[in-house]
């Protein structure tokens, strides 16, 4: 089969799709990945064909306005304000990426599509090509369950009500996803001469009402599959990129690691709010107060340290599967991919969330005895970070993290995802 995989967002949104593309290729299928042009060299360096999308969303996230929006999105009201403020930019970008995805689909003539929930118009393209599709979710936020509350809700909302209220929360998120995806997809249909509708706009069923396979790319060891999910909703395990044996660290990094006890990794990807330099100063002082060595991940400018002390080293792009096993513990924003990497390495984890699903992963890490309570970015300063670091390095957390790490290493999310997809698609045929 020739499969088109389509994703939108940061590197954390791209990496699981790239891992799935490689798993499909290992199984003898052809895979094409449609993602922002920013990631094309990285994707093709891994041996996967990339059909590029506009960089508009990435550039918006990196702008001062985008950073400010992320910083203010920790509450429902703040998130609504952010969406309202950025809506004039987001809507034309949604139409642009829909056009890019349509161009990619016509270029590669796929037999099936696997799409990210941010690409709400992908079902329209599958319907236009008369091919099956599948929804790949990095966060279990759309399929209703009474067993846990919707992960994108704030903690206080997740603790309200019983099973019925929890299920209702998913319905709210699904309605919002449909609402924000409707107008761009309709605009694209008109531009392509497909008429005003009816647009597919259903992330869960094809044009004939048959359910798509829905793949949840998290570990069942960390979060078990709910018993009230429909049969077409699956938990595959984390989708991890295979290691690159040819990769070698810079000599300076290797020398730093060899010069003392294992350090603590601190990195927030592309996220550090509107003042990444101030955030970096707080992190440096927190490491000093806790008396630990540190490796700071600069990400896409998420942290911008200067005048580094001798007990701290800064890195830009070091594979997590190489770096994290050499750390004493990891501190990050709580993205699903970074959470997976830290726990798979068997390391205690401190999550410092900004918004969205990040508090959910932080709470889950703490509830499983794998790290301290999450330290929200709004409360992160040198003193609070130092206190959390001291708790993070507790021996009991280290034992628990090692135990779950060995279980996660035994899971093969890519192989499980390919098997689920083929079972559905071949069954439909």
142 three-state secondary structure = coil
CA distance 273 to 208: 44
Q: Mind giving me the DSSP string for 322-381?
A: HHGGGSSEEEE---HHHHHHHHHTT--EEE---STTHHHHHHHHHHTTSS-----GGG--
100 near 34, Cβ under 8 Å? Answer: yes
Residue 290 has pLDDT above 50, yes or no: yes
pLDDT of residue 195: 62
pLDDT digits (tens, 9 = 90+) for 210-238: 888 999 999 999 999 999 999 999 999 99
pLDDT digits (tens, 9 = 90+) for 101-157: 999 999 999 999 999 998 988 988 998 899 999 999 999 999 999 999 999 888 878
Cα-atom radius of gyration of the chain, to the nearest Å? 21
Contacts of 179 (CB under 8 A, 6+ apart): none
With b meaning 16 or more CB within 10 Å and e meaning fewer, what string describes 3-12? Answer: bbbbbbbbbb
pLDDT of residue 69: 66
CA distance 276 to 295: 16
Distances in whole angstroms, Cα of residue 251 to Cα of each of 118, 292, 295: 40, 22, 15
Higher pLDDT, 398 or 69: 398
Instruction: Report, at the CATH architecture level, how domain 2-238+411-428 is classified.
Output: 3-Layer(aba) Sandwich (3.40)
**Domain residues of the chain, as ranges?**
2-238+411-428, 251-409
Residue 267 has pLDDT above 90, yes or no: yes
CATH of 251-409, one of 3.40.50.300, 2.60.120.200, 3.40.50.2300, 3.40.50.2000: 3.40.50.2000
CA distance 9 to 13: 5
Confidence of residue 87 (pLDDT cuts 50, 70, 90): confident
Q: Which of 377, 255, 363 is nearest to 310 (CA)?
A: 255
pLDDT of residue 200: 53
CA distance 342 to 405: 9
Count how many Cα atoms sit within 13 Å of the Cα of residue 265 in the half-sphere of its side chain.
34
Fold agreement (2-238+411-428, 251-409): yes
CA distance 385 to 296: 14
Percent of the chain with pLDDT over 70: 91
CA distance 109 to 129: 8
Helix, strand counts (H, E) of the chain = 16, 12
Mean pLDDT value across the chain: 89
Count how many Cα atoms sit within 13 Å of the Cα of residue 260 in the half-sphere of its side chain.
14
CA distance 25 to 47: 10
Write down the pTM of the prediction: 0.92
- Widest CA span of the chain, in angstroms? 66
């Amino acid at each position: 089969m020739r499969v088109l995989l389509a994703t939108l967002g940061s590197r954390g949104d791209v990496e699981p799709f790239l891992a799935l593309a490689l798993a499909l290729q290992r199984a003898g299928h052809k895979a094409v990945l449609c993602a922002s042009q920013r990631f094309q060299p990285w994707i093709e360096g891994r041996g996967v064909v990339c059909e590029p999308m506009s960089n508009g969303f990435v550039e918006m996230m990196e702008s001062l306005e985008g950073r400010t929006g992320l910083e203010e999105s920790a509450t429902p009201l703040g998130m609504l304000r952010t969406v309202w403020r950025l809506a004039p930019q987001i809507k034309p970008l949604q139409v642009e990426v829909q056009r890019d995805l349509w161009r990619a689909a016509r270029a590669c003539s796929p037999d099936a599509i696997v799409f990210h929930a941010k690409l709400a118009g992908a079902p329209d393209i599958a319907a236009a090509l008369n091919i099956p599709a599948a929804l790949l979710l990095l966060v279990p936020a759309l399929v209703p369950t009474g067993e846990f509350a919707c992960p994108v809700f704030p903690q206080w909302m997740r603790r309200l009500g019983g099973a019925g209220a929890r299920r209702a929360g998913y319905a709210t998120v699904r309605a919002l996803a449909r609402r924000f995806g409707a107008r761009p997809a309709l605009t694209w249909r008109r531009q392509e001469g497909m008429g005003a509708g009816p647009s597919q706009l259903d992330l869960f069923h094809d044009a004939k009402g048959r359910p798509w396979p829905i793949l949840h790319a998290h570990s069942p060891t960390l979060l078990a599959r709910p018993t009230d999910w429909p049969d077409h909703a699956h938990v595959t395990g984390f989708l991890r990129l295979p290691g690159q044996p040819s990769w070698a660290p810079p000599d300076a990094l290797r020398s730093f690691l060899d010069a003392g006890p294992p350090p603590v990794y601190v990195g927030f990807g592309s996220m550090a709010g509107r003042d990444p330099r101030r955030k970096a100063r707080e992190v440096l002082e927190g490491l000093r107060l806790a008396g630990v060595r540190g490796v700071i991940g600069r990400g896409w400018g998420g942290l911008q340290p200067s005048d580094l002390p001798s007990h701290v080293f800064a890195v830009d792009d070091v594979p997590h599967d190489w770096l994290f096993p050499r750390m004493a513990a990891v501190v990050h924003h709580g993205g699903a991919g970074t959470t997976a990497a830290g726990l798979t390495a068997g390391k205690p984890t401190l999550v410092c969330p900004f918004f969205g699903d990040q508090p959910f992963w932080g709470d889950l890490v703490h509830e499983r005895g794998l790290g301290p309570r999450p330290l929200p970015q709004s409360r992160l300063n040198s003193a609070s970070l130092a206190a959390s670091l001291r708790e993070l390095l507790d021996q009991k957390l280290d034992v628990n993290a090692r135990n779950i790490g060995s279980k996660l290493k035994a899971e093969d999310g890519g192989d499980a995802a390919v098997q689920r997809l083929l079972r559905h698609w071949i069954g439909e045929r």
